[in-house]
Amino acid sequence: MDGYSRLVAWLKVLLPLMAILLLSTLFLLSRNVEPVATLPFANSEIDERVNEQQITRPFFSGTTNGGDRISLSADTMATRSGLNNEAAELSAQIDLVSGTRIILMSDHGQFDMAENTSTLAGNVVITTSSGFNLSSETLIADFDSLMLQSPGTVQGFAPFGTLNAGRMRLQRQETGSNAHLVFTNGVKLIYTPQNKEE
């Protein structure tokens, strides 16, 4: 037997032995890991997820009876027994037939899919493409008839100045007509004249 054949014969024995030694050191030197300790959920979060149905980043879209386009989205939406769908970081975009765009944002809210209504609450911001930037604590929206109303005070900026009112309503009087913002209950307006360049 020549030297090359002897070398190959020895390597056939030595290489598998070295592989076994390397694998055994991997298992001997590895540290113990407790799988329960590494779960990224707290017990309260697990209980919440078990007791309720939750959707992450839901998105709904549709049209009103008058043809206005509506899209709704949220960070999370959960359904609890006996309550409406509760959403966090709720936002809506309404594109009116007239061309005006209305954007609604709030910290949280409820959405009733059967009635097609929503209640936005907590730092509600109402922005329109016509120049209104308003805030309120609560806004109730009926998407079938396109009626938005704030039962509480509204304050913010209008294209013609600063505005405060006890209540606000956006409503279309009849199908096909333009929707209008109506302010009531002690309206206070500070008019700011616009500088027109000639």
Judged against a pLDDT cut of 70, whether residue 34 lies above it is answered with no
Contact by Cβ (8 Å): 72, 118: yes
pLDDT of 133 reads 93
Mean pLDDT of the region 5-32: 81
Distance (Å, whole) CA 25 – CA 185: 80
Fold (topology level) of 56-191: lipopolysaccharide transport protein A fold (2.60.450)
pLDDT of 136 reads 93
Residue with more model confidence, 144 or 44: 144
